[in-house]
A and B are shown apart, each in its own frame.
Chain A
Amino acid sequence: MSDTSETNYLDNGKGFASWFYTVDHKRIGVMYLIAIGIFFIIAAFASFLIRWEHLTPGEGIVSAHTYNVLFTLHGSMMVFLFIVPGVAASFGNFLIPLMIGAKDVIFPKLNLYSFWLYLLGASIFLFALAAPADTGWTFYTPYSIDSGTNVIMITLGVFVLGFSSILTGINFIVTMHKLRAPGMTWDRLPLFCWAAYATSLLQVLATPVVGITLLLLIGERYFGLGFFDPAKGGDPVMFQHFFWFYSHPAVYIMILPAMGIISEVMPVFSRKPIFGYKAIAYSSLAIALISFLVWGHHMFVSGQSKLVNIIFSVITFAVAVPTAIKVFNWLWTMYKGSIELSTAMLYSLAFIFLFTIGGLTGLFLGALAVDVHLHDTYFVVAHMHYVMIGGTVFGFFAALHFWYPKMWGVMFDEFKAKIAFVLIFIGFNVIFFPQFILGTLGMPRRYFNYAPEFESLHQLSTYGTWIIGIGFILMMYTLLKPIPGEAGPNPYKSLSLEWSMDSPPPPLNFDKIPTITEPVYNYGTKIEKES
C-alpha cells in the first residue's frame, strides 16, 4: 500500500540545488545512474562508428588516426566512466542502506563528494578530447610517452575518477560494518551487499596502484623520468606490471556487483531460497583476494619471463573456480523452483549463459600456448565483451528492470521490455560471436585495416550493432515511458528489506529501524508461508 500523502525521496525538495547538494544516498545513486548512462551511450556510439568503419577493409568512414582515437575513447570512457563506477556507484548507493536497514550510508557528505569527484574527473577527461588520446585505453608505454595527444589530461581525469572510486569503496565498507540493523548478522546480509563489499575492497586496495602508475606516466611525459624508457635504463614492461596490478582486479570490480544482482533476482523469480548462500558470499571474497595474483596473464607475450608466465597461468585457472561455484549455485537455485520469466529474470538467465561463455573463453586465454596465438586478436575482444556486456551490462539491465518499481514507484510495460531484451540478446551475439572466429583466424585487434578474407565476418558483426541499437532504443523508450498507476511497495513479493517500505522510498528510508530475525531468502519455504 503506498501512501501518497507522505513525501518520497524524489519529491523531497525540488530544483537543481536540492539534487546537487543532496546527502540522500538514493538521490546520489540516481545521479550516478544518469551520468554513467550518458557516458555509456556516448561510448557505445563510438563503438558503433568503429564497427561501421569495419564494414570494408581499408579506409571507410574515418581515417586511421581517428580510428585509433575512437577505440581509445570507447575503451577508456566505457571502463573509467561507465563500468568501474557502474553498478556499485548507482545501484550500490541506492540499495545498500535500504538492504541493511539503515537510514543512509555512514558518511553521507563523503558520498556527495565522491559524486562531485566523479563529475570533476569526467570533466577533465572530456576536456582532453580537444586532442584525444590514441593510445588504447591501456596507455601502454612507449607510445603513450611519444604520442602527441592529450595523454596527460586524460590520465589526470582517470586519476581523479580513481579518487571517487576509493572514497565510495571506503564508504560502503564502513557502512556495512557499522550500520547493519539489529539482528542483521553477516550471514543474513543480502548477497548484493556481499558483492558490493568485495567490490569495495578491490576499489580501496587496487585503485591507488593505478593512481601512482598514471602519475608516473605523467611524470615520464612531462619530466622524462625514464622509468619506462629503455634508452634511460627503464623498462616499458614495468608500466604494464603496475597498470595490470590494478586493472585485473578492476575487471572484478566490474563483474562482482552484477553477480550480486543475479543473486538477488534469482531467488525471487524462482520462489526458492538461494542455493549455497555461504558459498556465494565467500566466493565473492575469494575472487577479490585471488584477483590480485593473476595480473601477468595480460602480459604473456610482452616479454615476461617464462617462470612468471607459468606462475600467472596456473593461478589464473584457480581464479575461475569461485566464479564457477556461483554459476552452479544460481542454476541449483532454479532447480525445482517456480520460475517466473519477468524481464529481470530473462536478463539474469542471459547473464548466466553469456557470462559462462565469456568466462570459459578466458580460460582459453589463460593457457600459455593458446594465448600466444590469440593474444591481441579479436578473440580477446570477444571474450572481454562477453563478460562485460553479457555479464555486467546484462546484470545492469536486470537491475534497471528489477528495482524499477522501487526506485520510481511505477511499472514499465513488460511486453515491450521483453521484445527489447530479445533484440539486445540476439544483436549482442551477432556482434561478438563472429569475433571469436575472427580472432582464431588471426584478425588482430585495434587494426584499422584488415585482410579481405575477414570481410564477411566483420560485416556480420556490424549488422549486430544495428540490431542491438534498435533493442537498446526500445528498452530506453520502455523504461522512460512507464505505464500509469502506482506500482506498490513490493510487486515481486520479495523478502528483502528494500521492498518493505513504500515505492519510491521516503527520504530517511525507515520510520523505525527493523530488527532482523531470519535469513533473507526464505522464498517458498514454510517460514514465508507462515508470514
Chain B
Amino acid sequence: MTQEKVLSELSHRWDSFRRKSQQRVKKIAQIIRVISREPRGLIGASIIGIILACAIFAPLIAPFDPNEQDIANRFSAPTSQHLLGTDYVGRDILSRLIYGARAAAIVSICSVGIAVIVGVPLGAVAAYNGGAVDYIVILIFDVIRSFPSVIMILVLAAIFGPSLLNIILILSFTSFPAYGRVARAQTLGVKEEECIMAAKSLGATTGRILLSHITPNILSPIIVLAGMDLAVMIMWESALSFLGLGLQPPAASWGIMLKQGYTYIETAPLMIIWPAIVLITTMLGCSLFAEALRVALNPREREPNE
C-alpha cells in the first residue's frame, strides 16, 4: 500500500468518526423530543424544574425568612399568612421548604459532579491501560462497593464531622465507583473500534485519545446514571440531616425538618407531613423523569401499543 492510500484510508475513518459524533448530537435532540412528548417525562421534568427554581430563587419566592421565629404563633395550622403553618418555634414551614430545596440541589449536583469527574477518568484509564492498573482500580472500586453504602456514609460522616462540604465529599466518595465501572465497561468496548485505531496510527497521545475520542463515546450511559443519582443524592442529604450527621440546625433542610417533625410527632403532625410530601414528590419526579429517559433511550419500549 502506498502512503497516499494509507492516508486516504485514515481520513476516511476519521470522517466516519465525525459522522458518528454528529449522529450522537442528533440522537440527544431526539431523546429530548421523546421525553417532552411523554407525559411521564413532562411531569417529572416540571417537578424537577420547580425544585430547581425554588433552589435558585429561594429569597424571591419564600414569603418569610426561613429562620424568622414567632414564638407566639408556634404550631400554627395553615392560615392565609402561613400557607403551610408554622413549626415548633413559629418559623414558616413553606419558606423553610423552599430554602430546603437549596441544600438538596447543592448537595446532589455537586456530589454527582465530583463522582463523575473522578470516576469516569479512573475507569476509562483502567480499561485503556489494562494490566496492573486495571486490577488495582477494580480492587479499589470493589472494596468501596462492598460496604453497604448507608453504613459507609454513616461512618465517614461520623469521622469527618457534619458539614456541607463533608457530605458532598462523602457522597461522591461512595458513588464514584459506580461511574468508574460503567466507564470501564464502555471503554473496553470502544477501545477496539476503528476510529481509535485511526487516531493511534495518526500519532495521537494516550491522553488525547482518552479525552477526545473515548470520553464522548462512553458518555451517554453515564448521563443516565448521573440523572438517576441526583434523586439518590437528594435522598441522602435529607437522610444524613435527619440522622444529625448532615446539615445542622438551624439550617433549612428537608431532613432536618422531618427530624424536628419526628420529635413533635405527638403534637404537630403537619411538621412531618409537609417535608414528607415534598421529599416524596421530588423522588417521584426524578423517577418519572428517569423512566421517560429510559424509554427514550430504549426504542424497543416505544411501540405504539405501549
Is A bound to B?
no
Where the two chains meet, the residues of A that have a C-beta atom closer than 8 Å to any C-beta of B are none
Q: Spell out B's residues near A (CB within 8 Å).
A: none
